[in-house]
């Protein structure tokens, strides 16, 4: 189980990490207590869930020879939040992708870098087609 931080002055990376964990937990029908999170995390999580169908549609359009159901839940959560940051928070693509890859290295990547390389290629494709 992941431990979450309850601070009102969280750094952007901490906020991002907590959101990815919440999106993951939501995806696997896990239990979470939103009241235990700072308001910025609660508000963004609610917004991500509200836009989840649109986010997933963007991901599906950019997958090649792969389906969204084949993504593991951790990578799916990381990519979903990166798409949200690029599309709805207007975070520069480079920052959103770099941060997603850092989370991939921590939570999903094995020694072979396959997960990192896959997420990098997918997010780069999404970046190029975000306004389609």
Give mean pLDDT, residues 41-60.
Answer: 98
Q: Which three-class secondary structure state does DSSP give residue 13? A: helix
Yes or no: say if 76 and 27 are a contact pair by the CB < 8 Å rule.
Answer: yes
With 50 as the cut, is the pLDDT of residue 4 above it? no
Alpha-carbon gap, residue 58 to 126, rounded angstroms: 7
Residue tagged 């990815």 (tokens)? 20
Alpha-carbon gap, residue 41 to 48, rounded angstroms: 10
Total domains present in the chain: 1
Q: What is the CATH number of the domain that holds 41?
A: 1.10.940.10
Q: Cα 11 to chain center, whole Å?
A: 16
Question: Is residue 120 in a domain?
Answer: yes
Question: Is residue 2 in a domain?
Answer: no
pLDDT of residue 131: 80
pLDDT tens, position by position, 70-116: 999 999 999 999 999 999 999 999 999 999 999 999 999 888 899 99
Question: Is residue 47 in a domain?
Answer: yes
Share of the chain above pLDDT 70, in %: 93
Q: Which domain holds residue 56?
A: 12-129
């Amino acid at each position: 189980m992941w431990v979450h931080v309850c601070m009102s002055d969280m750094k952007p990376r901490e906020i991002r990490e907590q959101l990815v964990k919440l999106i993951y937990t939501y995806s696997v029908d896990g239990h979470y207590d939103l009241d235990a999170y700072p308001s910025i995390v609660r508000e963004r999580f609610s917004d991500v869930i509200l836009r989840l169908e649109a986010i997933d549609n963007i991901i599906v359009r950019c997958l090649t020879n792969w389906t969204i159901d084949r993504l593991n839940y951790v990578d799916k959560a990381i990519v979903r939040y990166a798409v949200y940051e690029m599309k709805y928070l207007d975070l520069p693509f480079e920052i959103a992708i770099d941060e997603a890859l850092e989370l991939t290295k921590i939570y999903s990547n094995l020694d072979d870098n396959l997960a990192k390389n896959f997420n990098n290629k997918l997010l780069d494709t999404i970046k190029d087609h975000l306004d389609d």
